[in-house]
């Protein structure tokens, strides 16, 4: 029996160890999906169900994407980003949706946004102004109506401007809930997941699990 979604859990949770344990389960489930040839594309706190504060389950597979099979990527059925804009990666907001790498990387970006929210109780897109500007319906409609090469050029221009004018926020600057013992390790995990340039968002799940486990171990000392 499911008691609550992850957003409700965040509000009432008892501390970082609980969050990290459930976040690790969400990462395990996401990794399983990817290995089986699917991307979720709508990972967010509301789509994570929590059972008795002990186990987390991913839900709502209405936007799921089948990855490449026999040399072909499943045709796109959406005329815009498939999931909640607030958790969608910059490259998918800009319409760079012609390869499976971007969908896999997009799920990882969403995990980073969820991690930020879990520890700060703030929505990541509202705290990173350059990214926040991408999350408007008018912007994405305009981008998805353009030819693909124009989307790529626009993404490069926007990315350069965002990175020139703004740094990725540090997760511990928004909350005293992040213990000092894990703030560097947790922030490194977070920043690797939400790297705005998808070509530099190279963190794999082995590293994700290792950094989560490092944080859990540091909290026990």
- Ramachandran quadrant class, 71 (left: phi over 0; alpha: psi -120 to 50; beta: rest): left
Q: Which pLDDT does position 177 carry in this prediction?
A: 83
Query: Residue 215's domain is classified under what CATH number?
Result: 1.10.510.10
**Interaxial angle between packed helices 137-144 and 148-165, expressed in degrees from 0 to 180 and rounded to the nearest 10:** 140
Tell me if the pTM is above 0.85. Answer: yes
Structural domain containing residue 166: 4-220
Number of domains in the chain: 1
Cβ pair 87, 134 in contact under 8 A: no
Q: Which pLDDT does position 58 carry in this prediction?
A: 95
74-92 per-position pLDDT tens digit: 555 655 667 888 899 988 8
Q: Which pLDDT does position 200 carry in this prediction?
A: 92
Largest CA distance in the chain: 54
139-158 per-position pLDDT tens digit: 777 777 888 888 888 888 88
Q: Which pLDDT does position 136 carry in this prediction?
A: 59
Q: Which pLDDT does position 157 carry in this prediction?
A: 85
Q: Which pLDDT does position 72 carry in this prediction?
A: 47
Residue at token pair 């353009």:
146
Phi, psi dihedrals of residue 39, rounded to the nearest 5°: -120, 140
Residues sharing a CB contact under 8 Å with residue 86, sequence separation 6 or more, in sequence order: 44, 113, 123, 124, 125, 126, 135
pLDDT along the chain (221 residues), means of 10: 80 86 96 94 95 87 78 56 85 84 94 95 81 64 81 85 79 87 96 93 96 95 76
Q: Which pLDDT does position 70 carry in this prediction?
A: 42
Distance (Å, whole) CA 189 – CA 162: 21
């Amino acid at each position: 029996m499911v008691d609550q979604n992850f957003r409700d859990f965040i509000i009432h949770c008892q501390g970082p160890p609980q969050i990290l344990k459930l976040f690790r389960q969400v990462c395990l489930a996401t990794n399983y999906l990817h290995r089986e040839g699917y991307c979720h594309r709508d990972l967010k706190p509301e789509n994570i169900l929590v059972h008795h504060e002990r186990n987390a389950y991913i839900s709502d597979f209405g936007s799921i994407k089948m990855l490449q099979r026999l040399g072909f990527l499943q045709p796109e059925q959406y005329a815009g980003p498939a999931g909640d804009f607030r958790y969608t990666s910059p490259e998918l907001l800009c319409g760079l949706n012609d390869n499976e790498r971007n969908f896999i990387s997009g799920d990882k970006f969403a995990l980073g946004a969820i991690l930020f929210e879990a520890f700060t109780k703030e929505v990541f897109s509202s705290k990173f102004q350059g990214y926040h500007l991408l999350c408007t319906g008018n912007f994405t409609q305009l981008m998805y109506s353009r030819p693909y090469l124009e989307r790529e050029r626009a993404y490069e221009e926007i990315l350069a401007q965002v990175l020139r004018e703004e740094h990725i926020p540090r997760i511990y600057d928004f909350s005293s809930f992040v213990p000092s013992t894990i703030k560097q390790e947790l922030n490194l995990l977070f920043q690797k997941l939400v790297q705005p340039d998808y070509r530099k968002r190279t963190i794999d799940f082995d590293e994700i699990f290792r950094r989560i486990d490092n944080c859990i171990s540091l909290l026990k000392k």
